[in-house]
Structure formats: structure tokens, C-alpha cells
Amino acid sequence: MSDSKFAYFEGKIVPFGDAKISIAAHGLNYGTAAFAGIRGYWNDDLKKLFLFRPKDHYKRFLSAAKILAMELPHTPDTLTALTIELLQKENFGTDVYVRPLCYKADPGIGVRLHDLRDEVSIFAIPFGHYGKNEDSAHVTISSWRRIDDNVIPARGKISGAYANSALIKTDAIRAGFDEALVLDQNGHVSEGTAMNVFIVRDGELITPPVYENILEGITRKTIIELAREELGIKVTERSVDRTEAMLSDELFLTGTAAQVETVTRIDYRIVGTGAMGPITAKLKHLFNEVVHGRVPKYSHWNIEV
Ligand code: PMP
């Protein structure tokens, strides 16, 4: 993290090393915090950085804060402005990943959400690719289950819930896989560890619906819109069984960090032809063009720093 020189912390931008919380902080002890993850793409021709859909990320961030009974004096616009100010000071000149966090800041013992001070922090780091094997990932089906809306709401990026994602990811990696698909309590395919999932069957794009304990991904939303509007592909939001995933023609994962990650094997079974399929390839290309601000129709998603 030594690449970050500054952070937004307790109401102002400070040197990164000064942004420190107590070991007694509520959010650290109880996971009573929520975060976001936003990418900025460096345009080398224009020598400018563009954030991808920051206001949508901050809208979801504030929804998670609301679930955690936080009262924050922020809007998606004020948080985007703060992020821009921070990135201007950092002046990385490369692709970046921005990590906003809202957390219960008071120290002390006592699990609850009320009567605690809420704070927001933001830092950024230079960032490249996330998945090691993003064009031919081998995934397993995790033996862990996805958190449920009535356990810890999955539609917010609530920090405590990421212990679930961490269990899934580490067991998958230690077993030799790149990533894992995780089933919800009903046994339907929900997501990856920090990505939404899409399958292609007979030319149709299918993804689990928002009421099946998924994170309502910004990349997911982007891919659905691009598939419908630009490629004229039918997109259906419905439950996906594990064997349907295994038997799909194409399968890919989407997320801010992962972008579009092609899965070519599930538990030693080949998905489709075993290589990136044509629909995935088209969407991946289009997504890449859009996030880099090369498609004027979608340039309202690229916010200049
Ligand atoms: N699911 C989970 C659990 C995640 O953490 C993420 C990453 N934010 C996603 C899906 C993908 O969401 P997005 O496209 O908004 O990054």
C-alpha cells in the first residue's frame, strides 16, 4: 500500500500514514462497515484518468450504509468529488482502484448499529489485472454457501460478509483452482467470490436475479445493457442450476476488479469448447472499449478526474 500517498480520512485528505483507526474500532471488531471498489482507467492519448460509473458505485455504497443504520453527510456527487480531489493529488498516471469504506468508528465493546459514530475513508492504488487466468479460469463449486439476505444482506458490500468470500476464495485457490462459484441456500448458482456470473445457452445470456443473494454488480448491469443494446442478445435474469452452469456454452464472471473473466472449466469439466466463446469475446471487447471511454454513446459513464 506504499503507493498511496494520501487518503480521505475523518473529513479531510491527509497523508496516507496518518489515516489510522484504533484496534478497538467497532467496524474492525464486528465487521460493521461497508466498502466500494471503483476503477479508474488511464487514457494515455489524452493523459487523463476516467472513473467508471463512480456515482453508481457510490449509490450502492450509500445503500449499504443505510442498511447499517449509518447517517452519512454524503451523496454520490459529494463522494465522487472527494474521490476526484484525492486522485488529482495522487496523480498516479496509470489505471487505479479506489477503495471507499464507511465504518462504525467508535471504539468499545457492544455489538449494535445504533449510537455509534460513522466515518468514511477513501484511498486509491495503482491497479492492473485481478484474475491470474482471466481468459481461461478453472473454477470449482465451493462447499461454502453464499450469505443470505436474512443473514447479512448480500446486496451491500458489507465488510463482515466478506469473511464468506474469503473462505470461498482461499479454499478454492489452495485446492488448485483460480476461483469458485458459490451456491445460495437453495443450491442455485449465485456468484463468484467477488464477481457476478453469466452463462450463455443457445445464444441467450442468463444471469441470476437480484433476489437470489447476489451483489447488484455495476459491471453486471453494464454487461446486461451492452448485450441488449449493442449486440441484440436476449438477456434473462433467472435461477441457474450448477449442472446448467457446467453444461453452458460459455460462462464468464464480471466485476470491477475482475472485469470480464472467462471460465473454461468447472471442477475438471470443460465449459463449451474449452476456450473463450464468441459472445464472451464480443462483450469483453465492447466492455473494454466502453470503460476506456472509446464509445461516445456511453461516455457519460466515464467521469474525468
Ligand atoms: N459480487 C461480489 C460479492 C463483489 O464483491 C463484487 C465486486 N464489487 C461483485 C459481485 C461485482 O460487482 P461490481 O461489478 O459492482 O464490481
- 6-19 pLDDT, tens digit per residue, is 999 999 999 999 99
Distance of CA 202 to the CA centre of its chain: 28
Whether residue 178 sits in one domain with residue 251? yes
Q: pTM of the entire structure? A: 0.96
| Cα 108 to averaged position of ligand 1 atoms, centre (Å) | 31
| Cα 53 to averaged position of ligand 1 atoms, centre (Å) | 13
Atom in ligand 1 nearest the alpha carbon of residue 220 = 14
Q: Determine, yes or no, domain membership for 132.
A: no
Strand pairing report for 189-191 and 137-145: unpaired
Atom in ligand 1 nearest the alpha carbon of residue 222 = 14
| Cα 217 to averaged position of ligand 1 atoms, centre (Å) | 5
The verdict on the CB of residue 259 being under 6 Å from ligand 1 is no
**213-231 per-position pLDDT tens digit:** 999 999 999 999 999 999 9
pLDDT at 172 > cutoff 80: yes
The verdict on the CB of residue 220 being under 6 Å from ligand 1 is yes
Instruction: Give the count of alpha carbons within 13 A of 212, CB side only.
Output: 20
Burial class (CB within 10 angstroms; exposed 0-12, middle 13-18, buried 19+) of 65 = buried
Whether residue 262 sits in one domain with residue 154? yes
Q: What pLDDT does residue 232 have?
A: 97
Whether residue 149 sits in one domain with residue 114? no
Whether residue 147 sits in one domain with residue 66? no
| Cα 195 to averaged position of ligand 1 atoms, centre (Å) | 5
SS3 of the chain: helix, strand, coil, percent, to 5: 30, 30, 40
Whether residue 237 sits in one domain with residue 106? no
The verdict on the CB of residue 161 being under 6 Å from ligand 1 is no
Q: What are phi and psi of 124, to 5 degrees?
A: -135, 150
Residue 250 one-letter amino acid: E
Q: What pLDDT does residue 1 have?
A: 53
Q: Known catalytic residue: 104?
A: no
The verdict on the CB of residue 215 being under 6 Å from ligand 1 is yes
Whether residue 116 sits in one domain with residue 47? yes
Q: Determine, yes or no, domain membership for 270.
A: yes
The percent of residues in the chain predicted with pLDDT above 90, rounded, is 95
The verdict on the CB of residue 256 being under 6 Å from ligand 1 is yes
**236-277 per-position pLDDT tens digit:** 999 999 999 999 999 999 999 999 999 999 999 999 999 999
Q: Determine, yes or no, domain membership for 301.
A: no
Distance of CA 253 to the CA centre of its chain: 11
Quote the domain boundaries for residue 100.
6-126
Give residues with Cβ within 8 angstroms of 165, minimum separation 6.
193, 194
Burial 226-256 (b: 16+ CB within 10 A, else e): bbeebeebebeeebbeeeebbebbbbbbbbb
